[in-house]
Amino acid sequence: MKYCTATSSGVGFFTHADREAAHLSGHQGNVWCVGDDNSDWIARVGGTEITLKEAQALLDAAIEEEQAEWDSGEVPIPKPNGENARPGKYSLPT
Protein backbone atom coordinates (compact mmCIF):
# COMPACT_ATOMS: atom_id res chain seq x y z
CA MET A 1 0.00 0.00 0.00
CA LYS A 2 1.17 3.50 -0.85
CA TYR A 3 -0.08 6.77 0.61
CA CYS A 4 -0.18 10.21 -0.95
CA THR A 5 -1.72 13.62 -0.78
CA ALA A 6 -3.63 14.88 -3.78
CA THR A 7 -6.42 17.38 -4.29
CA SER A 8 -9.36 16.08 -6.25
CA SER A 9 -9.90 17.95 -9.49
CA GLY A 10 -13.39 16.52 -9.95
CA VAL A 11 -14.52 14.46 -12.92
CA GLY A 12 -11.72 12.27 -14.21
CA PHE A 13 -9.61 12.58 -11.06
CA PHE A 14 -9.91 8.84 -10.84
CA THR A 15 -11.64 6.53 -13.24
CA HIS A 16 -13.25 3.14 -13.09
CA ALA A 17 -10.11 1.76 -14.72
CA ASP A 18 -7.97 3.35 -11.99
CA ARG A 19 -10.06 1.62 -9.32
CA GLU A 20 -9.93 -1.68 -11.20
CA ALA A 21 -6.13 -1.49 -11.57
CA ALA A 22 -5.38 -1.27 -7.86
CA HIS A 23 -6.75 -0.21 -4.48
CA LEU A 24 -7.74 3.46 -4.39
CA SER A 25 -9.50 5.16 -1.49
CA GLY A 26 -9.81 8.79 -0.46
CA HIS A 27 -9.84 10.11 3.09
CA GLN A 28 -10.14 13.41 4.91
CA GLY A 29 -7.13 15.72 4.64
CA ASN A 30 -6.66 14.97 0.92
CA VAL A 31 -5.08 11.64 1.88
CA TRP A 32 -5.27 8.81 -0.65
CA CYS A 33 -4.39 5.14 -0.21
CA VAL A 34 -3.36 3.42 -3.41
CA GLY A 35 -2.14 -0.02 -4.37
CA ASP A 36 1.59 -0.61 -4.71
CA ASP A 37 1.17 -0.80 -8.50
CA ASN A 38 -0.62 2.55 -8.80
CA SER A 39 2.34 4.98 -8.94
CA ASP A 40 1.18 6.15 -12.38
CA TRP A 41 -2.06 7.44 -10.85
CA ILE A 42 -0.16 9.40 -8.17
CA ALA A 43 1.95 11.05 -10.88
CA ARG A 44 -1.02 11.72 -13.16
CA VAL A 45 -2.96 13.60 -10.47
CA GLY A 46 0.09 15.50 -9.21
CA GLY A 47 0.09 13.65 -5.91
CA THR A 48 2.92 13.52 -3.41
CA GLU A 49 3.82 10.14 -1.95
CA ILE A 50 4.05 10.14 1.85
CA THR A 51 4.57 7.56 4.57
CA LEU A 52 1.78 5.81 6.45
CA LYS A 53 2.74 7.77 9.57
CA GLU A 54 2.47 11.09 7.70
CA ALA A 55 -0.82 10.07 6.08
CA GLN A 56 -2.31 9.02 9.42
CA ALA A 57 -1.22 12.33 11.02
CA LEU A 58 -2.91 14.33 8.23
CA LEU A 59 -6.07 12.23 8.53
CA ASP A 60 -6.14 12.60 12.32
CA ALA A 61 -5.69 16.38 12.07
CA ALA A 62 -8.55 16.66 9.55
CA ILE A 63 -10.85 14.56 11.74
CA GLU A 64 -9.91 16.58 14.83
CA GLU A 65 -10.89 19.74 12.92
CA GLU A 66 -14.24 18.17 12.01
CA GLN A 67 -14.73 17.12 15.63
CA ALA A 68 -14.07 20.69 16.82
CA GLU A 69 -16.64 22.01 14.32
CA TRP A 70 -19.15 19.38 15.45
CA ASP A 71 -18.47 20.13 19.12
CA SER A 72 -19.04 23.86 18.54
CA GLY A 73 -22.53 23.11 17.24
CA GLU A 74 -22.03 25.60 14.44
CA VAL A 75 -21.52 23.20 11.55
CA PRO A 76 -23.33 19.87 11.70
CA ILE A 77 -21.62 17.30 9.49
CA PRO A 78 -24.31 15.14 7.85
CA LYS A 79 -23.56 11.48 7.37
CA PRO A 80 -24.62 9.49 4.28
CA ASN A 81 -27.17 7.54 6.35
CA GLY A 82 -28.76 10.77 7.58
CA GLU A 83 -27.38 10.55 11.10
CA ASN A 84 -25.51 13.49 12.54
CA ALA A 85 -22.83 11.68 14.51
CA ARG A 86 -19.58 13.15 15.78
CA PRO A 87 -16.72 12.23 13.40
CA GLY A 88 -14.54 9.46 14.76
CA LYS A 89 -10.92 8.62 14.18
CA TYR A 90 -9.90 5.46 12.38
CA SER A 91 -6.75 3.83 11.08
CA LEU A 92 -5.81 3.87 7.42
CA PRO A 93 -5.57 0.50 5.66
CA THR A 94 -2.14 -1.09 5.53
What's the total number of domains in the chain? 1
- The rounded radius of gyration (Å) of the Cα atoms in the chain is 15
DSSP codes, 48-83: EEE-HHHHHHHHHHHHHHHHHHHHHTSS----TTS-
For the chain, what is the mean pLDDT?
Answer: 89
**Residue 83 counted as domain residue:** no
What share of the chain in percent tops pLDDT 90? Answer: 59
Going by pLDDT thresholds of 50, 70 and 90, the confidence category of residue 35 is very high
Question: Given a cut of 90, is residue 32 above it in pLDDT?
Answer: yes
**Residue 78 counted as domain residue:** no
**Residue 34 counted as domain residue:** yes
pLDDT in tens, 40-86: 999 999 999 999 999 999 999 999 998 998 888 776 666 666 667 78
**Residue 91 counted as domain residue:** no
> Which has the closest alpha carbon to 77: 66, 88, 68?
66
Question: What is the rounded CA–CA span in Å between residue 16 and residue 7?
Answer: 18
**Residue 84 counted as domain residue:** no
pTM: 0.85
Question: What is the rounded CA–CA span in Å between residue 71 and residue 18?
Answer: 37
pLDDT at 1: 94
Higher pLDDT, 80 or 90: 90
φ/ψ of 22, rounded to 5, equals -170, 170
Residue 22 belongs to domain spanning: 2-72
Query: Which residues does residue 49 pair with via DSSP β-bridges, in sequence order?
Result: 4
